Amino acid sequence: MKTWIEKFKISAALDQPPAGESKAPASGTKAPAEFAEQMTALDRALRSGPPAPVPYPGLHESIMAAVRDCRAEVGPARAAGWRWGLAGALTCLLMLGGWGAWHRVASRLAPAPFRNAASVEEQVAALPAKVLSPLSQEWQALNLDLEKTAEFLLASVP
């Protein structure tokens, strides 16, 4: 703000004529009257607003021609829509076929489950005792946990 005030003071000082000269114009000049007329004309022009724009003579015809051209292009656009739909359907079919093929290959690579209980018993009986001892200990601990849980539940029922 101070700089604005300082600039205004400097501008006002520069606008004042030097000490020996007078500010009044010479008696024979018509500068103030011409200036007033110019300002009056400028004021009228600014108050009246900008002149109305003159449209290009063929503007309406060119716009209507562009609209007609756009209408003519609607037919091929519909065909493009069908193409995109068919491409999407084909992509879905290919993905489904790929998934089916992968699922079939993965099921062949997975180990086959036991066919019946007799074969399971035979395979377990064929295992050495050292392999089965940790498992049998876990089964005993699990059975003990289940028995204690059953006792607790029966004791808490009124």
Residue pLDDT, tens place only, 146-157: 999 999 999 988
Alpha helices in 110-156 (DSSP H): 117-126, 129-156
Three-state SS annotation for 36-100:
HHHHHHHHHHHHHCCCCCCCCCCHHHHHHHHHHHHHHCHHHHHHHHHHHHHHHHHHHHHHHHHHH
Neighbours of 132 (CB within 10 A): 13
* pLDDT interval class at 131 (50, 70, 90): confident
Residues 6+ apart with CB under 8 A from 16: 23
Mean pLDDT of all residues in 73-79: 60
pLDDT at site 73? 57
Contact 94, 88 (CB under 8 A): no
Question: 132 CB contacts (<8 Å, ≥6 apart)?
Answer: 124
Give the pLDDT band of residue 18 (cuts 50, 70, 90): low
Please tell me the pTM assigned to this model: 0.26
The pLDDT of residue 22 is above 60: no
For 73-78, what is the mean pLDDT?
58
- Are the beta carbons of 137 and 129 closer than 8 angstroms? no
Assign residue 52 a region (left: φ > 0; alpha: ψ between -120 and 50; beta: otherwise).
Answer: beta
Cα–Cα nearest to 153, from 145, 84, 23: 145
Q: What is the pLDDT of residue 122?
A: 78
Q: What is the pLDDT of residue 93?
A: 96
